C-alpha cells in the first residue's frame, strides 16, 4: 500500500499553522501548581499528568470506540455472521471473546485468529460481509461518545492540529466520521491497513505525526483499546485511555497515562487545564 497522508476533506486540506494558540488564563497559584505537576508527573489526586508531554500541539483520535461507542455494533455484526457459519458449533460468541480476540484489531490479524485454516480469499469475503453489515447498523445506531463535540470545540479554539488514526477500513472510518459531523474537523485520516504495519505497531501514529509535522512529545493520543494504546505508547506519545468498553486494567497494562469515562470526565479537563497552565511558567 502507498504510504501517504490522506486529508479527510474531499476538496482541500486545511491548515491551522497560521492560527494563534489560545492561552489558558491561569491564576498565579494555578500556574505554580501546574509547574509542580510538570516536575512530579502526578496530580494532587495521584493521577498521571499530561504535563510530561510538554505544550500540546496536536491531538490524535482513534475512531472506533473513541469517537463513538461502535464496539456493540461490531460485536453484533460478528456475533450474527459467525453464528450463521457455525463458528464454535453455532454457539454465539460472547463479549469476553470479542474483547480478547477482536476489539481494536486489524482485519488481517482478526482473520488469523478466527479462521487460521480458511482460504484467505474466503476469510476476506467474510470480513467484507461483516463490514457491510456494520455500516448498515452504524447508519441506524451510531452516536458520539459523551462530550465529544465539546472536546472538539476546545481543540479548535486552542488551534491544535488533529488527525484520526484507525485500524478500521477506510469506508467504515469515513462513514463514522461523516455521521458524527467531523469530516471538516480532522486534517488527516490515517488508516492502519494503508501503513506498513497496523496497530498495535506504532506506524499509523508515526505517520500521523509526520503528516502534521508534530513531534511525539507535543501530542496526545485518545484511545479505547489495548492495541491502540500500545501503538501510541510505542510511537512515544502519551495516551489517554477511554473506558467505553474495555476493562480499566487492560488499558493501564497497555500503557495508558490516564483513564477517563468519556469526554465529560472531570479528570480529562483537569489534565488539559494543567497542561495549558504549564505554558505560562515554561
- 41 Rama class: left (phi>0) / alpha (psi -120 to 50) / beta: left
Q: Which residue, 146, 147, 180, 153, is CA-closest to 166?
A: 180
DSSP-assigned states of every residue in 22-66: P-----HHHHHHHHHHHHHSB-TTS-B-GGGG-S--EEEE--BTT
Q: How many beta carbons lie within 10 A of that of residue 72, not counting itself?
A: 15
pLDDT attached to residue 10: 37
Q: Rounded to 5 degrees, what are φ and ψ at 55?
A: -55, 125
Same domain, yes or no, for 171 and 260? yes
* 84 and 125 both lie in a single domain: yes
Q: Give helix 203-212 / helix 226-234 axis angle, nearest 10°.
A: 50
Average pLDDT per block of 10 residues along the chain, 282 residues long: 50 31 32 35 40 80 96 95 96 94 90 96 97 94 96 97 97 96 97 96 98 96 96 97 93 96 97 77 60
Regarding whether 97 and 81 lie in a shared domain, the answer is yes
How many CB atoms are located within 10 Å of the residue 27 CB?
A: 10
Residues 58, 158 within the same domain:
yes
For cell 500503557, name the residue.
Answer: 255
What pLDDT does 245 receive? Answer: 85
What pLDDT is attached to residue 278?
Answer: 67
Give the pTM: 0.77
Beta strands in the chain (DSSP E): 58-61, 161-166, 188-191, 219-223, 239-242, 258-260
Are 170 and 133 in the same domain? Answer: no
Are 178 and 228 within one domain?
A: yes
Looking at the structure, do residues 137 and 167 belong to the same domain, yes or no?
no
pLDDT at 194: 97
Domain endpoint, select from 88, 106, 141: 141
C-beta contacts of 241-246 below 8 A and 24+ residues apart: 242/65, 242/66, 242/145, 244/65, 244/66, 244/69, 244/71, 244/145, 245/65, 245/69, 245/71, 245/72, 245/99, 245/103, 246/65, 246/99, 246/103, 246/104
| pLDDT, position 51 | 56
Residue 93, domain member (yes or no): yes
Structure confidence at residue 240 (pLDDT)? 97
Decide if 234 is inside a domain.
yes
Cα–Cα distance measured from residue 144 to residue 182, given in angstroms and rounded to the nearest whole number: 11
Q: Round to whole Å and give the CA distance between 201 and 152.
A: 26
Q: How many domains does the structure of the chain reveal?
A: 2
pLDDT for the residue numbered 26:
33
- Is residue 13 in some structural domain? no
Mark whether 156 and 253 lie in a shared domain.
yes
Which CATH number do you get for residue 58?
A: 3.40.50.1000
Reading phi first (left if > 0) and then psi (alpha if -120 to 50, else beta), residue 82 is in: alpha
Same domain, 161 and 224: yes
**Residue 197 falls within a domain, yes or no?**
yes
**Structural domain of residue 137, as residue ranges?**
71-141
Whether residue 103 lies inside any domain: the answer is yes
Asked, for residue 62, whether it belongs to a domain, the answer is yes
Residue 6 lies in a domain: no
**Which residues are catalytically annotated?**
62, 64
Residue 183 lies in a domain: yes
Amino acid at each position: 500500500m502507498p504510504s501517504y497522508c490522506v486529508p479527510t476533506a474531499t476538496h482541500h486540506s486545511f491548515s491551522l499553522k497560521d492560527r494563534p494558540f489560545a492561552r489558558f488564563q491561569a491564576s498565579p497559584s494555578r500556574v505554580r501548581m501546574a509547574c509542580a505537576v510538570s516536575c512530579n508527573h502526578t496530580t494532587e489526586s495521584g493521577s498521571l499528568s499530561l504535563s510530561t508531554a510538554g505544550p500540546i500541539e496536536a491531538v490524535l483520535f482513534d475512531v472506533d470506540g473513541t469517537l463513538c461507542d461502535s464496539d456493540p455494533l461490531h460485536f453484533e455484526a460478528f456475533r450474527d455472521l459467525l453464528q450463521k457459519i457455525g463458528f464454535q458449533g453455532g454457539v454465539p460468541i460472547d463479549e469476553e471473546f470479542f474483547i480478547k480476540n477482536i476489539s481494536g484489531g486489524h482485519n488481517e490479524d482478526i482473520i488469523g485468529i478466527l479462521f487460521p485454516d480458511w482460504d484467505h480469499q474466503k476469510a476476506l469475503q467474510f470480513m467484507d460481509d461483516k463490514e457491510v453489515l456494520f455500516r448498515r447498523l452504524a447508519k441506524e445506531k451510531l452516536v458520539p461518545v459523551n462530550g465529544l463535540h465539546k472536546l472538539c470545540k476546545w481543540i479548535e479554539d486552542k488551534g491544535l492540529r488533529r488527525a484520526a488514526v484507525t485500524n478500521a477500513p477506510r469506508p467504515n472510518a469515513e462513514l463514522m466520521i461523516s455521521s458524527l459531523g467531523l469530516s471538516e474537523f480532522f486534517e488527516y485520516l490515517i488508516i492502519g491497513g494503508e501503513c506498513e504495519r497496523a496497530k498495535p505497531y506504532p506506524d499509523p501514529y508515526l505517520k500521523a505525526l509526520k503528516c502534521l509535522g508534530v513531534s511525539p512529545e507535543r501530542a496526545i493520543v485518545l484511545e479505547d483499546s489495548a492495541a491502540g494504546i500500545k501503538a501510541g505508547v510505542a510511537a512515544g506519545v502519551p495516551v489517554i485511555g477511554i473506558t467505553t468498553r474495555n476493562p480499566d486494567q487492560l488499558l493501564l497494562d497497555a500503557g495508558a497515562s490516564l483513564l477517563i469515562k468519556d469526554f465529560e470526565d472531570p479528570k480529562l479537563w483537569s489534565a488539559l487545564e494543567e497542561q495549558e497552565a504549564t505554558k505560562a511558567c515554561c
